[in-house]
Amino acid sequence: MTGGNLETRRIGSLEVSLVGLGCNNFGWRIDEKTAAEVVQASLDAGINFFDTADIYGEGRSEEFLGQALRARRASVIVATKFGMKMGQGKEGGRPEYVRQAAEDSLRRLGTDYIDLYQIHQFDPQTPVADTLGALDELVKAGKVREIGCSNFNAAQLREAAEKAPKGGARFRSVQNHYSLYHREPEAEVLPECARLGMAFIPYFPLANGLLTGKYRAGQPVPAGSRADAGFGPKVFSEENLKWADRLRQFAERHGHTLLELAIGWLAAQPTVASVIAGARSPEQARANAGAGGWKLTSAELAEVEGIKPA
């Protein structure tokens, strides 16, 4: 780690910063130069966990990230994903495709190993035991250190745990949508993670920007923002904006920002290892990293529970 004072937690054998950088903007919303600046700002702020996927920017996200990290590859944790459609026949969890996708990602990242390799979504066409067998081969070959999954429900996590090769690699983490606004994982997935000893990695922690504090009830959305780009109107309803404003007031009473509440609240949830937050500028990356410092007390968490959407 190059700077900052971020707490670290474990995903299997990996030690990751409590806030990670989501690289989904690389290659389509920001160019290579800006991506490199965002990565450097993240490193300087103490982030060591960088999460991408083959489909982000049609492969460019992996390329930009690999280039930006080349000089410090040994001191960072790189996570990527496979399984969503990359072209004709290039999707899912078939063993031969798992091997091909891994080689493609290794090439784009410019590295000879992936720290955390995740299947991006459940593949109903392929027995999960077959996918896990291929992933286990990659671990044994030294091309992958740990494996995980994304967008799996509790039943799929249980099935994967039961079908993992005896004495071989098993999913150490699941990366799903989770925030103060979107709380679906609490019903089944988080308890299943606790039961299986898996880490949970939340993505979209800021609810597409609703929990950043830059949107206010009764005010027009900033030009060029995610809300302006069509991510509303459901998320950015007047009711939700008023709720976010009450959360902001709570945070400010405690000497913090809404962003710090959004990330600190997730960090306080059971089995959460690292909160993945995207950034389009070095300033956003620094703010996200800095937001990992609020350790909410049980009294503060209870007070947050009382702040309900109208």
Task: List, by residue number, the catalytic residues.
Answer: 56
Exposure of 19 in the CB half-sphere (CA atoms within 13 A):
31
Pairing of strands 77-82, 114-119: parallel
Relative orientation angle of helices 154-163 and 128-140, to the nearest 10 degrees? 60
Taking the C-alpha atoms of residue 130 and residue 92, their distance in angstroms, rounded to an integer, is 11
Q: How many CB atoms lie within 10 A of CB 121?
A: 17
Determine the Cα–Cα distance for residues 24 and 271; give it in Å rounded to an integer: 23
Residue in the block written with tokens 């130069």 = 33
Report CA 6 to chain centroid distance, whole Å: 16
Q: What share of the chain is helix, strand, coil (3-state, %, to 5)?
A: 45, 15, 40
Cis ω on the peptide bond leading into residue 185 (within 30° of 0)?
Answer: no
Residue 6 CA to residue 34 CA, distance in Å, equals 23
Cβ within 8 Å of residue 299, ≥6 positions away: none
